[in-house]
A and B are shown apart, each in its own frame.
Chain A
Amino acid sequence: MKNNASSLAFSEEQALSNLHRFLPKQNPLKDFIYQNTLASFESEPFHKALEHASTLFGYKTYMHIEEYRELYDQGRIKPDMLRRSIRAYTGKSNVEELESHLLHQKYLAEFKPRLGQLYQLWTTKYLYNLAKRVHSLLFRFVSSYIDQGVAMRKFPLTDGSFIEAVRELEAHSGWFGMLSSKRAKTLLQDKDKTLADLLHILVGDEAYYEQYLIDQQFGHPGWSGMVAVLEKNPSSLLDRREISLRDFIFFELLMEINALDQHFGEGKWQPLASVIPEANIKPFFAPIEHQIFFEALAIWQEAYEWSFFDQVLFGLTQPLPPQNFDPSSHRYDFQGIFCIDERECSLRRYVEEMANAQTFGAAGFFNVAFYFQPKDSKFLAKSCPPPVTPIHVVRETYAPEHHHKRDTHFSQESKNLVYGWAISHAMGWLSAIRLAVNIFKPTETPALVSSFKHMDKESRIQFENRKLEESKDGLKLGFTIAEMADRMETLLKCIGLTRNFAPIVYIIGHGASNVNNPHYTAYGCGACSGQTGSVNARVAAAMANKPEVRAILAQRGVVIPDSTEFVGALHDTTRDEMEFYDDEYLDDINSKAHQQHQKILAKALAYNAKERSRRFLLMNSNRSPEAIHEDVKLRSLSLFEPRSEWDHASNAMCIVARRRTTKHLFLDRRSFLHSYDFEQDPKGTYLLAILRAVVPVCGGINLQYYFSANDQYRFGAGSKLPHNVIGLVGVANGIDGDLRTGLPQQALDIHEPLRLMLVVEHYPELVLDLLKQDMPIRDLMGRAWLHFVVVDPRDRRVYQYGSDYEWHEYLPLTTSLPVTNDLASLTASSSESLPVYWIETKKQETARPS
């Protein structure tokens, strides 16, 4: 085969930028950010991109065809939906033949990816396992350089860049250097050498340089990706390092030359080009040939997704149950603003059911973006969605106890020789007792990550900027009154809470508690960059309580009565516990009412815990909510519990609408819920703001889950049970392995890989116009990286956004929903994911779907 790449010259810059584009972009563990794993393919339509990525890199981008067939047999994929998907995908009306293929044919697919063709020649043609020689040492050197605090004795030179440190170390370490071949040593010290010079020795033919680098770097995507991230964003390490992908590759190429020189003798081996002609290498970026197999997968995936979404959309097309009170004058006892997080979905349902209360959903940073600086901390913690760069700092000015409890088990002295001896004698027995206690009765240890410790209830925070000149690191210390008013106005108008305020409005952030979990930041609030949302909730509530702010808000049409007070709170999604901030300042009447609300909320939390427990397989859900709640709490403390909670595992859709639109539908904690009242936003100004916040955050979460679940080897981190913590930045299997990116298997067991369906309640024509103002979001929807549906509030018809960037009316195949009036026994009855139910409450006897 003639290689059409042979005319191309190698450009180092181009090659590096391509690598930066395709390598996984996962931050160090301390800030896990959800994002589309295949973001580098977003310029293509979803299914095309998946086939493309799969062909190039060997990723598995769909479920197994057998798994789809199994779902079909179980009735989870509906036959008529499969036929509809075939029609939609092929454009043909004759579906029988393809349908029978999908159901029965054994597909022969060529799975051999483009990746690895060149690199494997070392093994097949040179009979030398180069990766085995190079990888583990390379990882060890680079992880020692990056290490944030595992090693007791650190890498000797971390002031300068990686390659400078390597040069200096190599020059002054005599016999024990990292390289042993003279040639490699000389090349290392020569600062003028380029990647091309080294590739000339290894590969020999310029046409293959870039492809070789891709093979090499994707042989260990974890470390390469980490280096790429640290190059672009050095501040993601607290103890910063200067390392670039180019330097890393330079060093790896040298190690390869070194290994080959050692094995075959210096200069006694030929570059790869000598064996390439006989190997029939396919150029990496050459156009791919479409395979019928991927068409089958795409159709199955569509059918799978719409079989579920169809039920939801049917529910949304039904007339809303009438409200037996006047919404404009009804006095609620309290209102609660929760995070949009799908984990709050069920709790809100219980709160509404148990109290005369109204709930809202908003992105969990509550429109106040800042860096939080806890007392005595040396650094700042970002507390807003990942794409936002805050310009404010909120400081903790007083904290009752020191944030950090020590534990000798993590101490470096315990690994020392003499101390270690003493500690073995003194602490060994203590460890045994601790272990036994934790196994039979889990209790709190210093290893616990607790959302309640993020900011103590008793602590004081400074969020107001009184004197404008105060600033630090170029950041503003606290917000001015005008800034506060802007933020509160947007928050309240987005969710449609502009009138009819209850006496108490709770703003409830969320966080998680767990132990033995290196991925702990993945469990926090996605809208707070993985942090706990308590500070944001507290700050937002305090802002809304300021009379000066209220005065400005009143001018802008949001009149908050003096009797209304806001209270910041924190919901721990693992333990189902709540803490309230500054509630001691409530006036007497509200204070009394607050006591009552706390009781109701505690009950709601217990019921929520019970509902969650149905998905914890080793737990008996048929007990009293209180008993189950106690067991659920223990999960956060148990060293042996790799699934303290299910995190976002059940995410499948995001609904931006009035609560009234979804209240009567049982969505099984599968939906992000953002409150939005189209009537209050006729021009859609706030809708656009919501979409800009929701699409990257929820879409990122959803696609990270989708890909991690479909390929646990390349996209996901695999089982977390053998994970070993490397330098505090990542995890690997064992001691020699590459860093594992993505979500671990234990976060995914119950996940069903569906793309997100985003539903908005507004006039379709208006939404269509709005989308034109934000091309990236529009493209993402047009290319179907998420499904976009609009519900027309006038006639309750639903429209689906098509690849032609136009609306197409969606006609549900579902003709009725099962009805329930006993959610408690429904949820206790099964540990599987449930279909959509129509909830019939006592208040809504009349609302029964056709």
Chain B
Amino acid sequence: MDINYLIISFVFLPLAGCLLLLFFNEKAETLIANTALYAVGLTFFSLLAFVVYWGLSEKFIPLNIKELVLYESESYIFLIDFYMDFAAVTYLLVGAFLTFLIIRYSHYYMHLEPGYKRFFTVILFFYTSYNFTVLAGNFETLFAGWEMLGISSFLLVSFYRERYLPVRNAVKVFSIYRIGDVGIILAMWASHHFWHENITFSRLSDTAFVNEHIAQHNLEALFIAICILVAASAKSAQFPFSSWVARAMEGPTPSSAIFYGSLSIHFGVYLLIRTMPFWEQQTIARILIGAVGLITAIVGYQTARVQPTIKTQIAYASVAQIGLMFIEIALGFKTLALLHLVGNAFLRTYQLLVSPSVVSYLIREQFYHFVKRNDHQAFIFGKKFHYALYLLSLREFYLDFLMTSYIFRPFKKIGSQLNFITYRNVFFYFVPSYLLGWVFWFYKSALPLALLPFIPIGLGLIALLVIMRAFSERRYPVHAWLLVILGHFWIALAVIYNETFTAKELIWYLSGVVLSGFFGWLCLVYLRKRESPYFNLYQYQGHSKEYPYLTWVFLACNLGLMGFPITTTFIGEDLIFGHVHQEQLVLAFCLASSYVIGGIALIRIFARLFLGIHAKTHQEAPLQSF
């Protein structure tokens, strides 16, 4: 038997299960849970079979499998590539084991819960993305999995979609994930230029090859390493991104346990292990990774010890341990870090699952062992330091506040300065100027040469501004939607100035945008017609209550427009970056920011319109503070 098939099955079995669930009746609980259980159980089984086979026949030598070429031209190839080594197998085994247990657990735990089917579908989708990401053999594949993880996380945090806090926090978590995505996108872009080929992770294990490149391009190598570190920190809730993980504890306890206690949260560590051969030789990168780990360990520990809620405490304790893993990795103890993460994953999963028991347990402890504490002990560093540290830790070192006020608010502020871009003048200014852009491109040879390098940057900036405007739009959802589409078009225009961007590539990029943009627009127009008093972005409208199917259709369009790997735009995005030159860091940054901000703007439209407290019912509606 070809071992490839076995490896593919790790992704396809859960995916098949996930798709199968869509056809089941919401009420058929046992059928749903058992299908999920079999899907994961079979994966677990085939994984074990693989490990035995691989160990016996190949002595655990890493495998690289080029699975599928999705796009190919002379200069560029996009392929799904899988890579299997010891770290991957560890992750796969832990993932399969815990997911299997959690599904079994949830069969009973979720009994009678509205959204039973949705829960299992999303868990399987998550598990698919998990395996896909773990197996990723190149950045492109990894990025696809990375995006899927982000959206499954969004869906699980907002599982109780009729309430305010889960939805708000889901958007928060998604936003921070998106920041991590900038890291990956830029790392992808820089490595295109760095290696001059579509680099696979297996190539990275060729030390001589890697060292040679690094020696030549020292600074670029460091840039890539930092991008990777940003992505890893965001995913693993390291400093300064730590605050999201506690806020993600909004779903049912088992999903929190599997996601934020164990599997999802360790992906930053995985990314670092995966790319270790690359940054291992760079002392500065190692110092940075170690520093992030150290700061997180301290911040996480201080935060964990003062929190009065059990799930926050476990979340930060876990984050602090991952900080230690970063240090271990920076020091080069890869195996130790792997062991550590397995232990941590199991421990935190269990701790989260038994967290409701803490009441009876600790009250009993208090009942038998209570000692009245003396408030007036002497403080080693003085009272002021003690109090300040306490308050600082209680407020999570202001990390949540810093994220919103220094990263997202500036974008929103700039966007709202652009209020002159309204529904109507889009047609008066932007469409004509956009067409003008094409006309100029046609006569590119006539333009002054000195001007040429600035045009793509200028256009990229316009794209970013348009997207920021969409991000800050509060009244008209359709407007925001169209602005995002427009942003994509400006990006396309910016890149074609760079060099020969073939029509084929353009179609790859824009076809997904147009298709999902159009259907999404239809959804919005339909909804506006039906629910005009409840059609704005000032507050959550909660239309999923009355339009469950439209919710899913719009979500799909939303993802398509976001460049999620369901349309050609996903590959198109990569193509676009392939055409950004090495020295065009500003342009790359503009485009990357547009993807991030655009993604957040889109998920915000979705969340505000379809999720949250239903704006139409006043009775039997949850309070905002729930």
Q: Show the binding face of A for B, using Cβ within 8 Å.
A: 29-30, 54, 58, 60, 111-113, 123, 127, 131-132, 135, 137, 140-141, 143-144, 146-159, 169, 172-178, 219-222, 238-239, 374, 376-379, 381, 403-404, 407, 409-410, 412, 414-417, 420-421, 423-429, 431-432, 434-436, 439-440, 445-447, 449, 515-518, 520, 617-618, 638-643, 711-714, 718-728, 732-738, 740, 746, 749
Contact = CB atoms under 8 A, between A and B. Distances in A.
Top 8 closest pairs, chain A to chain B, by CB: A428-B343, A415-B317, A447-B357, A431-B350, A424-B343, A721-B252, A738-B625, A147-B308
A638 to B, nearest CB: 7
The interface residues of chain B, by DSSP majority, are classed as helix
A713 to B, nearest CB: 4
Nearest to B359: A518
B368 interface: yes
A618 B368 contact: no
B423 to A, nearest CB: 20
Nearest to B111: A618
B439 interface: no
Given A415-B314, A617-B111, A713 B622 contact: yes
B340 to A, nearest CB: 6
Contact of A449 (B101, B360, B393): B360
A240 to B, nearest CB: 9
B330 to A, nearest CB: 15
Given A152-B306, A377-B367, A424-B344, 19 more contacts: A60-B619, A143-B309, A147-B308, A149-B365, A173-B384, A420-B317, A420-B321, A424-B343, A428-B347, A434-B350, A518-B356, A520-B360, A618-B111, A713-B623, A713-B626, A721-B252, A722-B253, A728-B362, A735-B249
B597 to A, nearest CB: 21
A417 B324 contact: yes
Interface of B: 29-30, 97, 101, 104-113, 159-160, 163, 165-166, 168-169, 246-247, 249-254, 256, 297, 301, 304-314, 316-317, 320-321, 324, 339-340, 342-347, 349-351, 353-370, 372-373, 375-376, 383-384, 386-388, 390-395, 538-539, 617-626
8 contacts: A153-B390, A176-B392, A379-B370, A410-B357, A640-B106, A722-B249, A724-B310, A734-B250
Nearest to B256: A722
Contacts, number: 328
Contact of A140 (B308, B376, B387): B308
Contact of A414 (B253, B317, B353, B367): B317
Contact of B626 (A140, A641, A718): A718
Given A432-B346, A617-B111, A111 B339 contact: no
Given A148-B366, A736-B165, A111 B618 contact: yes
Contacts of A618: 29-30, 108, 111
Query: Which residue among A113, A137, A149 has the maximum number of chain B CB atoms within 10 Å of its CB?
Result: A149
Given A151-B313, A404-B368, A220 B625 contact: yes
Contacts of B365: 149, 404
Contacts of A718: 622, 626
Contact of A143 (B110, B308, B339): B308
A378 B368 contact: yes
B394 A640 contact: no
A702 to B, nearest CB: 21
A149 B362 contact: yes
Given A131-B624, A176-B391, A733-B626, A726 B308 contact: yes
Given A431-B346, A436-B101, A733-B165, A137 B339 contact: no
Contacts of B372: 239
A112 to B, nearest CB: 5
Contacts of A112: 618
Contacts of B305: 151-153, 412, 415-416
Contacts of B340: 421, 424-425
B388 A173 contact: yes
B351 A409 contact: yes
Given A219-B624, A220-B623, A425-B343, A238 B367 contact: yes
Contacts of A712: 620
Contacts of B30: 618
Contacts of B538: 127
A734 B169 contact: yes
B388 A150 contact: no
A8 B537 CA distance: 39
B373 to A, nearest CB: 7
A404 B364 contact: yes
The interface residues of chain A, by DSSP majority, are classed as loop
A26 to B, nearest CB: 14
B620 A721 contact: no
A516 B345 CA distance: 20
A740 B363 CA distance: 19
Contacts of A376: 368
Contacts of A515: 354, 357
A66 B360 CA distance: 40
B168 to A, nearest CB: 8
A2 B369 CA distance: 61
B308 A724 contact: no
B321 A726 contact: no
Contacts of B539: 123
Contacts of B344: 424, 428
Given A377-B368, A733-B160, A423 B347 contact: yes
Contacts of B357: 410, 447, 515-517, 639
B346 A435 contact: yes
Contact of B304 (A156, A415, A720): A415
Contacts of A381: 367
A641 B355 CA distance: 14
Contacts of A727: 308-309
Contacts of B361: 407, 410, 446-447
Contacts of B359: 29-30, 518, 520, 725, 728
A219 B624 CA distance: 8
Contact of A713 (B107, B346, B368, B620): B620
A425 B343 CA distance: 5
B308 A30 contact: no
A612 to B, nearest CB: 16
Contacts of B321: 420-421, 424
A158 B308 CA distance: 14
Nearest to A407: B361
A70 to B, nearest CB: 16
A439 B101 contact: yes
Query: Which residue among B354, B384, B393 has the maximum number of chain A CB atoms within 10 Å of its CB?
Result: B354
A222 B368 CA distance: 28
Contacts of B297: 417
Contact of B384 (A172, A379, A726, A737): A172
A643 B52 CA distance: 41
Nearest to B104: A439
B315 to A, nearest CB: 8
A668 B333 CA distance: 64
Contact of B310 (A159, A440, A449, A725): A725
A431 to B, nearest CB: 4
Given A176-B392, A415-B314, A424-B344, A725 B356 contact: yes
B308 A151 contact: yes
Contacts of A415: 304-305, 313-314, 316-317
Contacts of B107: 640
Contacts of A144: 306, 308, 394
A750 B607 CA distance: 33
B353 A639 contact: yes
Contacts of B104: 439-440, 640
B391 A177 contact: yes
B327 to A, nearest CB: 10
Nearest to A446: B361
Contacts of B623: 219-221, 713-714, 738
